[in-house]
């Protein structure tokens, strides 16, 4: 069974506005305390369309105040990134290098060349700093405690996976 079917069904059944609101909320939260947040100034006011070709979704975003916002689908975009859902997933989970995805034309960039190249380079250089994120979100008193909890959960999950492999 195709594991992506529930995701594809959700993308096709729910309105793009809902997806964009969820996407912007998640991305804006994850950007807190990250270097990428500061690098968005160059893209101030730019409109970006994410076009998922195999599901027909079009996510229209505007960059303003170092944040992503939903914008009207009726406004023209400055940059459009298009491709299949699997390629966006490979980009999001970093299982494939952004340069490779764009060079192989799995994901396509259109529009304002400077802004498109800037976005591609941001994606390519993206590094998530959990320490900075936790400091920004929960503050210095709680950040080390929450990081330790996350690490314990990761170690526990890894131990369970290793045990399943040994038993198989």
Instruction: Please state the pTM of the whole predicted model.
Output: 0.82
Task: For the chain, list the domains and their CATH numbers.
Answer: 5-128 (3.30.1050.10), 131-167 (no CATH)
Is residue 54 within 8 A of residue 88, CB to CB? The reply is no
Distance from CA of residue 90 to its chain's centroid? 10
**pLDDT-derived band at 168, boundaries 50, 70, 90:** low
- Of 59, 68, 64, 58, nearest to 30 (Cα)? 68
**What is the CB neighbour count within 10 angstroms for residue 92?**
10
Question: Quick one: pLDDT at residue 2?
Answer: 63
Q: pLDDT digits over 60-83, tens only?
A: 999 999 999 999 999 999 999 999
- Of 18, 50, 54, 114, nearest to 62 (Cα)? 50
Q: pLDDT digits over 118-153, tens only?
A: 998 888 888 888 898 899 999 999 999 989 988 888
Beta bridge partners of 70: 61
């Amino acid at each position: 069974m195709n594991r992506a079917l529930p995701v594809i069904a959700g993308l096709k059944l729910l309105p793009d506005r809902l997806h964009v609101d969820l996407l912007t909320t998640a991305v804006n939260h994850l950007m807190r305390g990250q270097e990428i947040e500061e690098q968005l100034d160059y893209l101030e006011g730019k409109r970006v369309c994410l076009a998922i070709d195999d599901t027909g979704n079009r996510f229209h975003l505007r960059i303003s105040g170092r944040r992503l916002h939903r914008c009207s689908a009726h406004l023209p975009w400055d940059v459009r990134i298009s491709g299949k859902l699997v390629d966006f997933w490979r980009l999001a989970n970093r299982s494939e290098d952004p340069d490779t995805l764009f060079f192989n034309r799995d994901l396509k960039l259109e529009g304002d060349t400077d802004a498109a190249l800037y976005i591609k380079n941001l994606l390519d250089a993206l590094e998530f700093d959990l320490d900075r994120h936790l400091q920004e979100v929960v503050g210095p008193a709680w950040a080390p405690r929450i990081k330790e909890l996350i690490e314990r959960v990761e170690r526990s999950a890894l131990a369970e996976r290793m045990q399943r492999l040994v038993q198989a």
